[in-house]
A and B are shown apart, each in its own frame.
Chain A
Amino acid sequence: MAESSNGHYKVIGTRPIRHDGIDKVTGRAKYGADYAFPGMLFGKVLRSPHAHAIIKSINVEKALKMPGVKAIVTAADLPEAEDKVEQVGEAAMNPRYLSMNILAHSKALYDGHAIAAVAATSPHIAEEALRLIEVDYEVLPPVMKVDDAMKKNATILLPNLRNKEEGDNPTNVASHLQFKRGDVAAGLKAADFVVEREFNTAMVHQGYIEPHNAVGIYNSDGQATIYCSTQGAFDVRSMCAQVLGVSVGKIKVVPAEIGGGFGGKTTIYLEPLSLMLAKKTGHPVKLVMSRSEVLRASGPTSGSKIKIKMGCTRDGKITGAEVWMAYEAGAFPGSPVGAGAMTILAPYNIDNFQVDGYDVVVNRPKTAAYRAPGATNAAMAAETVIDELAEKCGMDPIDFRIANACKEGTPQIVGPPYKRIGFIETVEAIKNSPHYKSELTGKNRGRGFAAGFWFNAGMQSSATVNIQTDGTASVITGSADIGGSRASMAMITAEVLGMDVTDVRPVVADTDSTGHTDVTGGSRTTFATGMAVYNAAQDVVRQLKERAAKTWEKKPEEVKFEDGKFSAEGEGIKPMNIKELAKRLARTGGPITGRAQVSTGGIGVGPAFAATCVDVEVDPDTGKVQILRCTVAQDAGKAIHPSYVEGQMQGGTAQGIGWALNEEYFYDAKGTLRNSGLLDYRMPTCLDLPMIETAIVEIPNPIHPLGVRGVGEVSIVPPPAAVANAIYRATGVRMTELPMSPPRLLKAMLENRRTHELQAAAAD
């Protein structure tokens, strides 16, 4: 096992140019929408204009007669899917609900819900044909918020939905979960200070710039191929097989390069439609979402309501915490409330707590994963309340965290004790940073701090390493590259084989060309696929030792491999590197392929923490918040390619800031999304943010050969709370609603000013 985190590596920890870099910056890289095939048709989707409606009938006759239209599909073309929860890839999902989201069955359940799909000879003809499809809707009242959905006589979205507690009564509450330890009432009673607040966070989108796309090809022998932008080719295959009622082996998925996913591309929307239309027409069919469709009809993450009550002693020890949280699942069950419940108190050692979480359906798009799903909402609540408690105790906010910090052996919320973790080191990295040590001066300015946690997943990966005839190598995995992972795979291979990283060619393969590999998500790729690559490269070394032994007429155990060279004791034996040994492969047994597959367990294989410090200036006349400076620290275990780890940290932080300040889904009273474009769904650009400073902390993960922890997600968790805490220090206002957009913040500041004026007047 290689040494970790102290400079014993030659390749790991360096910053080579990524292998896919030139293609990406010159436009040669092939994205899903770039694919074209002879005779290809173009698909468009008819979407519901209503948030909630019974579909009484769909008439496609007129549309089918339009010249250029070749096929139309509706839910009637889908087989009956099972109504049960199954494990597909990373997530548990219900195939019936997945099918109902691909094409609406008897009800339209959100503005933008797919009703029918058309294939035509041009995208314009397909678009025109949509207007000729006649749908008879019976419009129902939309249910847009968890409060309304959970009321006793709420309009019901899914007539068959039940939960254990409500028995056979129709409900919009899909499930209730609870975590409990100790005696929370006694814990709160023992507190010197108690803070109780209610938070509301808006639904937000992952904001990937590349829309969803798919090209489906269906052969007459029943073999199908999908080219698409996805985080998980094998998951696309499994899910399409479920929805279409075919066997997994009949579908090949070729992952295109991906222009952002962040969790939003771990599910399917257009892929089964492309295959259904390809099967009906006998032609390849391409579908690409517009921006408006992406926002209306893909998978944003949940808005939420969180009530939290937390108490501490005057010397800063948290004595109890009580949480109630309800997350929007969208039209079908499956919000990340479970993760929210398990992360909200995760950084802290608290003896008494109770967390109740509710998964609630509403007439919004079915939510999908977004970078540490559920955790950001939760941290907004917990980390601002903790900030308030720290202030009451007169403690530095970081010192308060350290006083309550979890460490190795602390029991997690769900029970098992943490193994070696780096929470204290991560918050200390901020405390010792030039940013935190600097003085912030100026009017209307404030500094805020917050921390966050994410489990990081393991799951299954496969890898193959081939030695070419010239002694260079290729490493083949099934992990879509959404953040530089193929460079990391090449670096791990190069490190083990003692090669230059430019002599290793990383390949992201399709589902026929490599072993099963779970999704690029859950911050699992460098951990699990990296582990498989490491093991496959070690397999190569083992085989090469045998070939060297054969060449020198020695036993394999007499051959050493060090610093990229094979050697053995004996007269006339000269050490060989892999390039030299490669010349002898044909005469010592043939090609060398190393392979490995890993199944590394589920969540929590390398838990990680992030901490964010942010300085803001608030315009007192408009409520606009300017980010002056921002630093993020994160425990990466071991940073294989530090630039790409920093990129993940900066990207997650930027997204968290957008979530904090501007982003929200805005629906009108009819449940129509009114900001389905990037002008009005306002994400931060590089003009809005300073360069985000980073501090990579390396506390090796004890269960990984290189010490790797997942890095892709946790940095998005702290920023909204950090920004909220900074706004408080700048304005005196504690915000409890996201986003803290200018109108909302201005209103709060004006109310705060008015309250102070009235109090001052009363005192006079």
Chain B
Amino acid sequence: MATAIIPSLMRKLTDGRDRVTVSGKNLREAIADLDRQFPGIANELIEDGDIRASIAVSIDGEVGANGVLDTIRESSEIHFMPQISGGS
């Protein structure tokens, strides 16, 4: 089962828990499972069927490019973080 690391300001939606075990083969399924366990949290993460534009998701240390279709593995660790921009 994968682990979703809950951002600190969302932990009020997960009874204070910072880590939640989730199942699924991709982010869509993992977030759906997270929402089953803690109803309402999906609304913080998903808009119009995909990850909110203001959020980036790292799976096993890599920020994915495929939104809810990004695959996860049995032991994956999922982090949600703010989307940022660069200058250069």
Contact = CB atoms under 8 A, between A and B. Distances in A.
A416 B8 contact: no
Interface string B52-71: 11101010111111100000
A755 to B, nearest CB: 39
Contacts of A398: none
A338 B83 contact: yes
Nearest to B58: A416
Contact of A369 (B62, B66, B77, B86): B86
Given A336-B84, A521-B87, A92 B63 contact: no
Nearest to A703: B62
B40 interface: no
Contacts of A601: 62-65
Interface string A251-293: 0000000000111101000000000000000000000000000
B86 A523 contact: yes
B86 A86 contact: no
A417 B64 contact: no
A713 B87 CA distance: 7
Contacts of B61: 416-419, 604
B88 A262 contact: yes
Contacts of B53: 85-87, 92-93
Contacts of B84: 336, 338-339, 342, 373-374, 455, 603
A483 B87 CA distance: 12
Contact of B88 (A339, A459, A523): A523
A431 interface: no
B25 interface: no
A176 B9 contact: yes
A483 B52 contact: no
Given A414-B58, A604-B58, A604-B63, A342 B82 contact: yes
A602 B86 contact: no
A482 interface: yes
A342 B56 CA distance: 13
Contacts of A58: none
A456 B58 CA distance: 14
Interface in B9-67: 9, 47, 52-54, 56, 58, 60-66
Contact of A342 (B8, B62, B81, B85): B81
Interface stretch (A68-76, A177-185, A316-324, A665-673): A177-185
Given A601-B63, A601-B64, A605-B62, A522 B86 contact: yes
A237 to B, nearest CB: 17
Given A371-B88, A457-B86, A179 B8 contact: yes
B85 A91 contact: yes
A600 interface: yes
B1 interface: no
A458 B65 contact: yes
Given A178-B7, A459-B65, A336 B85 contact: yes
Interface in A444-485: 454-460, 482-483
Contact of A373 (B9, B65, B87): B87
Contact of A177 (B9, B52, B88): B9
A533 B53 CA distance: 28
Nearest to A90: B85
B27 to A, nearest CB: 13
B56 to A, nearest CB: 5
A178 B9 contact: yes
Contacts of A415: 5, 58, 77, 79, 81
Given A416-B58, A604-B58, A456 B9 contact: no
Contacts of B9: 164, 176-178
Contact of B82 (A164, A338, A419): A338
Contacts of B8: 178-180, 354
Nearest to B82: A338
B87 A92 contact: no
A371 B86 CA distance: 6
Interface residue range, chain A = 35 or more
A599 interface: yes
A121 to B, nearest CB: 38
A28 B84 CA distance: 36
B54 A263 contact: no
A373 B7 contact: no
Given A85-B54, A178-B8, A416-B77, A90 B86 contact: yes
A524 interface: yes
Nearest to A91: B85
B75 to A, nearest CB: 13
Given A90-B86, A266-B85, A483-B88, A458 B63 contact: yes
A263 B62 contact: no
B65 A460 contact: yes
B87 A263 contact: yes
Contacts of A85: 52-54
B43 to A, nearest CB: 11
B58 to A, nearest CB: 5
A419 B63 CA distance: 13
A373 B87 CA distance: 6
Contacts of A599: 65-66
Q: Which of B7, B47, B61, B63 has the most CB of A within 10 A?
A: B63
A78 B62 CA distance: 39
A601 B63 CA distance: 5
Interface string A225-256: 00000010000000000000000000000000
Contact of A525 (B52, B85, B88): B88
B79 A416 contact: yes
A612 interface: no
Contacts of A457: 86
Contacts of B65: 458-460, 599-602
B11 to A, nearest CB: 9
B88 A520 contact: yes
Given A262-B87, A415-B58, 15 more contacts: A85-B52, A85-B53, A90-B86, A92-B83, A180-B8, A261-B88, A263-B85, A338-B83, A369-B86, A455-B84, A522-B85, A525-B88, A601-B63, A602-B64, A604-B63
Pairs of residues from A and B, 5 with the lowest C-beta to C-beta distance, nearest first: A263-B87, A522-B86, A338-B82, A602-B63, A712-B88
Interface of A: 84-87, 90-93, 164, 176-180, 206, 231, 261-264, 266, 336, 338-339, 341-342, 354, 369-374, 414-419, 454-460, 482-483, 520-525, 599-605, 703, 710, 712-713
8 contacts: A262-B88, A336-B85, A372-B87, A373-B85, A601-B62, A601-B63, A604-B58, A604-B61
